[in-house]
Structure 1
Amino acid sequence: MAAMAPAPTQEEEVPVLPMPSRNPLPLSSAQEAQVRELYHARVRGYCAAEIKLFADCALGRTFTAPFKCREQNKAMNTCMIAHATQSEQDAAREEWFGLRLKRQKDREAKESRRKEQEKFHKEWWGLPIEDRDGEKGREVMRKAERVGGFPKRDEDQMSKDRHR
């Protein structure tokens, strides 16, 4: 079996980088979606208590929830509107830029894990021939493949299906 890298026991501290400039280059739509997700998570974090109250009230209700939980819904929406500001969007954008080193380290770890798994797969199955390396690959190359027939110790015996 291929040697696996030891799993980190604790989260490494990754430095938070500052904004590259006050007017950074436009982000791609996927990056903007990540910034929006951070923004929404921050706003939901501020209003977690109001959201919980509304969710508890609406639990088990269907079309009556807007009528029975009107006060909780209004409190939740008021809180979210109060915190959904442009400054909060800017803070989320700064947080996204600050975490770019962490995302890079995550991508590198994912890529190294993929390469380990690919190497293990090639070693285990011995495929393809030009990439056969490792102990399992050398073992496959040493042994000639037997097409049909029984192993040497079973050649004089009948098939197990015939004994039934």
Structure 2
Amino acid sequence: MNTLSRREEETLLKQTKASALKECDSVVKEFAQCAEGRTFSVAWECRQKYKAVQDCMLQYTGPEAMAIVRAEYLRLREEQKRAASTPS
């Protein structure tokens, strides 16, 4: 079976987003510093920093990146099934 259950898909996405946040930590911190103490002006004052966060996250969580993550997960799952079904 080469498909993911909804639960597996959600878990992978959650893990990938957490990993992406770690990878994009410096960019996220820059945006947070810009946004600190602002309310409405965040929209125009921090627009470029927000876009940088979005761009950084997208490289780890975009469709292409998620396809790679899914493929790796499926490969590992198949490997584990084969190992479990092989008699010792």
TM-score strictly above 0.5: yes
- The residue identity in structure 2 corresponding to 1:88 is A
Residue in 2 aligned with 1:39?
16
* Structure 2 residues without counterparts, runs of 5 or longer: 81-88
SS at match of 1:81: helix
TM-score normalised by L of structure 1: 0.38
For residue 67 of structure 1, report the CA deviation from its aligned partner: 1.4
The structure that has the greater radius of gyration is: 1
For residue 88 of structure 1, report the CA deviation from its aligned partner: 2.5
Q: Determine if contact 2:59/2:65 at 8 Å carries over to the other structure.
A: no
Q: Determine if contact 1:57/1:69 at 8 Å carries over to the other structure.
A: yes
Pairing partner for 2:39 from 62, 84, 93: 62
Q: Determine if contact 2:60/2:66 at 8 Å carries over to the other structure.
A: no
Q: Determine if contact 1:50/1:72 at 8 Å carries over to the other structure.
A: yes
Change (3 A) 1:95 1:52: farther
SS at match of 1:51: helix
Task: Name the Cα RMSD after superposition.
Answer: 2.7
Runs of 4+ in 1 over 4 A off after TM superposition: 95-99
* Structure 1 residues without counterparts, runs of 5 or longer: 1-23, 102-164
SS at match of 1:26: coil
- Counterparts of 2:16 and 2:53, CA distance in 1: 17
Higher relative contact order structure (alpha carbons within 8 Å, sequence separation ≥ 6): 2
Residue in 1 aligned with 2:56?
79
- Counterparts of 2:75 and 2:18, CA distance in 1: 16
